[in-house]
Structure 1
């Protein structure tokens, strides 16, 4: 009998694959216009709306808990949004606006498929995974806050909310892995950019760091031997550290997927793949949109 503290008996590469294939179904909420449009109706700007909508599950918090849990944003950027946003809209209103925006964006991106049996089945599987760890909130504040929210009725919104929970469950574990690696939020961003996965310009500007602050972190990581070259790229030590962090993140995320087993994880990935591809093809995950919104 497996104890609650033991790793889930499921391949961690499968855990990462299942999450990654379905992630666009959640991640699109940060790039689509439906979100800012609904936040604007509440008197909340786009940047302010990001923090208020994602943090709303925590309640009317100030900047401190958001800096801690979101991890890699400039504290001054967060403080410019919170707690001021709560004078314009309640957390409940922001949560409703975000869910409505997610539903509308998925409907736009998926078309007729949004009402199909594949979405309903994927929603059932993802919700089962998310709910299976609802009684394991320790050390996972963002997941715990979102796990306490009521479930919507429509399958496509259930799918979005379930993937949101799985994303925050994984994200809380990822923050723990970064802390154990001795990285600050800014340093984690620099290493992410140095991996070549996401453009430096997007990471730096969307998280509110100045070029001077970014360059200071680059110098520090170069001094520690984690990046190299004039155009920063990961060194051998940096690649090894990143691999360790990702492996730890997968291990910490595994309990959420254990209940599905290999067959369930493969089925969720099979269902999510064409849905996520449709989201990308419809332009709902274009990082250039976010860069333009940030000015």
Structure 2
């Protein structure tokens, strides 16, 4: 095995992330969950991402998802488990993935590049399975059987790599003493994502958000003024978390080395671009940021 630079791990992960992330936006997902009987707009998201861990209590999802308002989770769990089993939900999710990627990649869905990317990503994800400790959401996903078709293998592999990295990131946020809403405030203060979008998508009300802003400001991480901007101290603390996330996230990619990472990035950026362009519901701002990074 060869060591992988943290920056390389970040680039490869980001290059392939739309291949996984589309499941949270695709209309095929909404259709699949509605067919199960889900009526709450967030039930499919929370239930499908929690389902690899089993029919867990809302508190487990709150703990592992980290930055959502607990009230939002309680609104859909454990009710979702009375409507469909985790196995039924996971089947519906994989069907939505299949339909989405077939739409994005068309006749090339079983092509050489998809197969090559799937093989590389799977090798990285299987290495990640050597270190499940402290990564509960990843561990749940790692317990699922591998699909057979290459495009689904690629999606599952990227899902594993995403949850591996995400669990590490949550642990590092805890080391900085940040709670969920405070972490979102810090993210908003980077300027990468509008504060309103983060607040709304995670369902924090204005008072809760203001309390989070006040807490981060009291730490001395924000510039003076009404706008959210990290000062030098805040940027340094944020960068420390991000860099260490990249360090921990580099472990899986050691399985394929720098050459494999370079090839996986080359292929997955093309495939991700096709996913974004396939009218699968990606928010325009998210798609634009992805293209700028590419």
TM interval, short-chain normalised? over 0.9
Q: Residue 281 of structure 1: CA displacement?
A: 2.1
Q: In the alignment, does 2:265 pair up with 1:272?
A: no
Q: Residue 282 of structure 1: CA displacement?
A: 2.5
Superposed CA RMSD: 1.6
Q: Which range is displaced more, 26-35 or 194-203? A: 194-203
Aligned to 1:250: 246
Conservation of the 8 A alpha-carbon contact between 1:151 and 1:158: yes
Q: Residue 99 of structure 1: CA displacement?
A: 0.9
Choose from 12, 16, 19 the match for 1:22: 16
Distance 1:223 1:283 in 2: 43
Conservation of the 8 A alpha-carbon contact between 1:27 and 1:285: no
Distance 1:255 1:38 in 2: 34
Aligned to 1:35: 29
Choose from 209, 217, 224 the match for 2:204: 209
Choose from 248, 252, 255 the match for 1:259: 255
Provide TM-score, normalisation by structure 2: 0.93
List gaps (5 residues or longer) in structure 2. Answer: 287-294
1:122-171 CA deviation, whole Å, 9 max, x = no partner?
Answer: 01110111011212110000111101101111111111000000000000
Structure 1 runs, 4 residues or longer, greater than 4 Å off: none
Alpha-carbon spacing, 1:288–1:51, altered in 2? closer, same or farther (3 Å): farther
Distance 2:129 2:266 in 1: 25
Q: In the alignment, does 2:236 pair up with 1:240?
A: yes
Q: Residue 289 of structure 1: CA displacement?
A: 10
Conservation of the 8 A alpha-carbon contact between 2:28 and 2:99: yes
What is the number of equivalent residue pairs in this alignment? 284
Q: Residue 197 of structure 1: CA displacement?
A: 1.3
Alpha-carbon spacing, 1:105–1:99, altered in 2? closer, same or farther (3 Å): same
Conservation of the 8 A alpha-carbon contact between 1:24 and 1:285: no
Q: In the alignment, does 2:263 pair up with 1:284?
A: no
Taking the TM superposition and a 5 Å limit, the aligned residue runs for 1:1-295 are 9-45=3-39, 46-228=41-223, 229-284=225-280, 286-287=282-283
Conservation of the 8 A alpha-carbon contact between 2:27 and 2:281: no
List gaps (5 residues or longer) in structure 1. Answer: 3-7, 291-295
